[in-house]
Amino acid sequence: MDRETRRFWFSLLNKERRANKLQNNGKLHQKITSELVATLRPEFRSELIQINLFGSRILCLAGPDSDLDIYVDIDNSSTIYSLTVTDKVLHEEEVITKALQNNRSMWAFLKKSGGKCPVIVVRHKNSNVQCDINFTNSLTYGQNKLVIYIFELQPVARLMVIYLRGWAEKHQIKSVFRSHLLVLMVIFFLQVRGYLPSVFQLQRGINPDIGPWITTFCKLKLSDFKMMKIPLNADQTHKKLAEFFSYYSTFNFSRIICPYLGREVWRSKLKYSMPQRCRQFVGQKIFANSPVAMQDLVHLAFNKGASIQQSDLDGFLQKCRSETYGFFNL
């Protein structure tokens, strides 16, 4: 192993250890969870408040400044799916916001964002950790569990995302190519190369549990798909990152990044490539009007790449081409 490869590997392992430490901070997570329950329970007068943590901290991808994503399930509403914001959601948003604002010893209210999936942003004062609280959409939490399992199947995927998070920050594209997009891109790349099964294969025979969507999956082994684990070492991780940059530097973005099928799909053909249960939701317009079409793992009518502008994509492609040359010539 030459000096540059050793430097790459030791730096990556240090970032991994830091992410593991944040993920394993059970006392902090328990404190935030218990204080949030204590804040909300008097308002809803219900024992049925469940706090579920997800996001980069739970996926072991986080850096020191990473937020903590929280899904609050009130009255077992996690299986409810709606295309619009209901009066119940608006009421819950108001009640949760006021409860947090009134408990200034524990929480500093920062903001709230609207849309189909409202998020309330606060800072937990004791730890200084920013918390993004979602209370209407359990799909992201379900997807998080699927990603954890995929990382267990092919651990090099997590190392690749950890590296790419730092790479995106270094090149000042982190605000556009955020962690959840890099996760999808890495999973899709490994699927196309034959190292991971498709989401469809992992969900075969399972019924929808939230509207038309499936958030659960079968816990199978790579050997069930005649696939092998990629060795976790410097050479193999370095090689897979080089191949990642090479793949996306020439990717035809008129096609869809589709982890559900694990293969590239033309935008015009996506709807009829999907299961019958969700074709009415997967309209062509959702994926047609943006430079990047990147389908969510479980919410198959959601284009996760919709916010990426053409200038962002052009810059990303240029950086991928540069990295392809640099990685293959180390």
Provide the pLDDT for residue 25. 81
CA separation, residue 107 to residues 38, 104, 122, 124 (Å): 12, 5, 6, 5
Distance CA 205, CA 216 (A): 11
State pTM to two decimals: 0.93
Give domain 3-137's CATH superfamily.
Answer: Beta Polymerase, domain 2 (3.30.460.10)
pLDDT tier at 78 (50, 70, 90 boundaries)? low
pLDDT, tens digit, 9 for 90 and up, residues 50-69: 899 999 999 999 887 889 99
Mean residue pLDDT of the chain comes to 91
Q: Are 327 and 242 in contact (CB under 8 A)?
A: yes
Q: Are 198 and 184 in contact (CB under 8 A)?
A: no
For the domain with range 140-328, which CATH number is right: 3.30.390.50, 1.10.1410.10, 3.40.50.720, 3.90.550.10? 1.10.1410.10
Residue 136 pLDDT exceeds 90:
no
Distance CA 296, CA 180 (A): 10
Domain ranges of the chain: 3-137, 140-328
